[in-house]
Amino acid sequence: MVGEAGDIGELLSAVHVYEPDVVVLEAQSQAGHVHELKQVDAAMVVIVSDVDAVADWVRLTQVNVGALVHSDDPEEELVEAVRRAGEGTGYVSPGLSGALLRFVRATLPRPLTVVATHAPLTSRESEVLQLVRRGLANKEIARRLGLSEKTIKFHVSNVLAKAHMASRAQLIASAAAM
């Protein structure tokens, strides 16, 4: 260990002075400093204390994060994370791997054509789906089709259920994947 920093300014100064190969960060204190952390020219090991805040620590992967470790993991996990980050091979500790997989599954769009449905889309649902995929809001779709906004919401809800998707964004993303 060559240095210690109490805040992002001290960290950037210490990295400039000591030029370390690996920097160890606590995610809760650094998640809001992604822009500043991009200036760090070292592999980073991020220590995560809150498994439920996956989105916060995944944001840190926008910088040179080489490893993620849970604060409750044994010391050997941190040692392994530092070693692997320094080698550039990457590492996610067992204490975080499940949370990371759940986050990825929840955020990645599932293509509409790959998911089997139990009921085919009606012609009106197909028509609404095409307009959703063009990025139109429910109000605009309702105006174009001469229907109420409430009816459009109903059709969008049916399409989402039949496609096993949770959001309009997934429907739009699935169109891009086709």
**What are 71-84's pLDDT values in tens digits?**
888 999 999 999 99
Q: Are 173 and 160 in contact (CB under 8 A)?
A: no
> Does 83 map to a domain?
yes
Mark whether 83 and 132 lie in a shared domain: no
> Does 114 map to a domain?
no
Write out the residue range of the structural domain in which residue 18 sits.
Answer: 8-107
Q: Which of 75, 58, 65 is nearest to 22 (CA)?
A: 65
> Does 34 map to a domain?
yes
Judged against a pLDDT cut of 90, whether residue 152 lies above it is answered with yes
Mark whether 100 and 55 lie in a shared domain: yes
Q: Is the dihedral of CA 164, 100, 33, 28 positive or negative?
A: positive
Domain stop point among 107, 135, 160 = 107
Mark whether 89 and 146 lie in a shared domain: no
Mark whether 97 and 152 lie in a shared domain: no
DSSP three-state, residue 121: coil
The identity of residue 146, as a single letter, is G
Q: Are 132 and 102 in contact (CB under 8 A)?
A: no
Q: Are 45 and 60 in contact (CB under 8 A)?
A: no
Cα–Cα distance measured from residue 153 to residue 130, given in angstroms and rounded to the nearest whole number: 14
Mark whether 27 and 97 lie in a shared domain: yes
Mark whether 14 and 67 lie in a shared domain: yes
Mark whether 94 and 17 lie in a shared domain: yes
> Does 62 map to a domain?
yes
> Does 112 map to a domain?
no
> Does 1 map to a domain?
no
Judged against a pLDDT cut of 50, whether residue 57 lies above it is answered with yes
Mark whether 102 and 129 lie in a shared domain: no
Q: What is the mean pLDDT of the chain?
A: 82
Edge-first strand order for the sheet with 43-48 is 22-26, 43-48, 65-70, 91-92
- Alpha helices (H) in 38-122, listed in sequence order: 54-59, 75-87, 94-107
Instruction: Answer with the residue of higher pLDDT: 22 or 7.
Output: 22
Mark whether 68 and 20 lie in a shared domain: yes
Mark whether 12 and 85 lie in a shared domain: yes
Number of domains in the chain: 2
pLDDT at 30: 57
| DSSP H/E element including 150 | helix 149-163
Residues belonging to the chain: 178
pLDDT at 178: 44
| DSSP H/E element including 171 | helix 168-177
Judged against a pLDDT cut of 90, whether residue 151 lies above it is answered with yes
pLDDT at 147: 94
Cβ within 8 Å of residue 5, ≥6 positions away: 11, 13, 14
> Does 3 map to a domain?
no
pTM for this prediction: 0.55
> For a pLDDT cut of 90, what percent of the chain falls above it?
22
Contacts 24+ apart (CB under 8 A), 118-126: 118/162, 119/162, 120/162, 121/158, 121/159, 121/162, 122/158, 124/155, 125/155, 125/158, 125/159, 125/162
Domain stop point among 107, 141, 165 = 107
Mark whether 92 and 127 lie in a shared domain: no
Mark whether 99 and 136 lie in a shared domain: no
**What are 96-137's pLDDT values in tens digits?**
888 888 887 777 766 555 445 567 889 999 999 989 888 888
> Does 63 map to a domain?
yes
